[in-house]
Amino acid sequence: MTKPWIIRQPLDMHLHLRQGDMLKTVTPVSAEPFVGAVIMPNLVPPVTTVEHVIAYRDAILATSAPHAFVPLMTLFFRDYRAEELAAAKPHILAIKLYPDGVTTNSDSDVRDLARFHHVFKAMEELHIPLLVHGETHGFVMDREREFLPSYEFLAENYPSLVIVMEHITTADAVALLDRYENLYATVTLHHLLLTLDDMAGRLLKPHLFCKPILKRPEDREALQQAALAGHPKLMFGSDSAPHPVSAKECPGCAAGVFTAPVCLPLLADFFRRNGADERLQGFISDHARQLHRLDLPEKNIRLEQIPWKVPERYGSVVPFMAGEEIGWRATVV
| Average pLDDT taken over every residue of the chain | 95
SS3 176: helix
Residues 123, 158: Cα–Cα separation, whole Å: 9
284, with CB counted inside 10 A (0-12, 13-18, 19+), is: buried
CB atoms closer than 10 angstroms to residue 227: 25
> What average pLDDT does range 305-312 have in this prediction?
97
DSSP secondary structure string for all residues of 105-139: T---S-S-GGGGHHHHHHHHHHT--EEE----SS-
Percent of the chain with pLDDT over 90: 94
117, with CB counted inside 10 A (0-12, 13-18, 19+), is: exposed
- pLDDT grade for 6, boundaries at 50, 70 and 90: very high
pLDDT tens digits for 153-179?
Answer: 999 999 999 999 999 999 999 999 999
Q: What integer pLDDT is reported at residue 31 of this predicted model?
A: 98
- pLDDT grade for 105, boundaries at 50, 70 and 90: low
Active site residue 219: no
C-beta separation of 9 from 292 below 8 A:
no
Q: What integer pLDDT is reported at residue 103 of this predicted model?
A: 66
- pLDDT grade for 108, boundaries at 50, 70 and 90: low
C-beta separation of 130 from 94 below 8 A:
yes
Q: Which of 119, 125, 117, 168 is nearest to 145 (CA)?
A: 168
Q: Which of 63, 233, 95, 214 is nearest to 144 (CA)?
A: 214
269, with CB counted inside 10 A (0-12, 13-18, 19+), is: middle
Q: What integer pLDDT is reported at residue 112 of this predicted model?
A: 84
Q: What integer pLDDT is reported at residue 307 of this predicted model?
A: 96
Q: What integer pLDDT is reported at residue 169 of this predicted model?
A: 98
DSSP H stretches of helix in 138-261: 143-157, 171-177, 189-193, 196-200, 217-228, 245-248
C-beta separation of 270 from 303 below 8 A:
no
Q: What integer pLDDT is reported at residue 241 of this predicted model?
A: 98
C-beta separation of 136 from 99 below 8 A:
yes
Give φ, ψ of 140 to 5 degrees. -60, -35
> What average pLDDT does range 64-87 have in this prediction?
96
> What average pLDDT does range 24-40 have in this prediction?
98
Q: What integer pLDDT is reported at residue 99 of this predicted model?
A: 85
CA distances from 321 to 208, 229, 308 (A): 10, 26, 12
> Amino acid letter at 24?
K
Percent of the chain with pLDDT over 70: 97
> What average pLDDT does range 38-66 have in this prediction?
97
Question: Is the per-residue pLDDT at 205 higher than 90?
Answer: yes
pLDDT tens digits for 60-73?
Answer: 999 999 999 999 99
Question: Is the per-residue pLDDT at 104 higher than 90?
Answer: no
- pLDDT grade for 204, boundaries at 50, 70 and 90: very high
Q: What integer pLDDT is reported at residue 65 of this predicted model?
A: 93
- pLDDT grade for 101, boundaries at 50, 70 and 90: low
Residues 162, 94: Cα–Cα separation, whole Å: 9
Q: What integer pLDDT is reported at residue 110 of this predicted model?
A: 72
> What average pLDDT does range 145-154 have in this prediction?
96
> Among residues 21, 107, 197, 239, which one is catalytic?
239
Q: Which of 162, 176, 159, 167 is nearest to 134 (CA)?
A: 167
pTM: 0.96
C-beta separation of 80 from 119 below 8 A:
yes
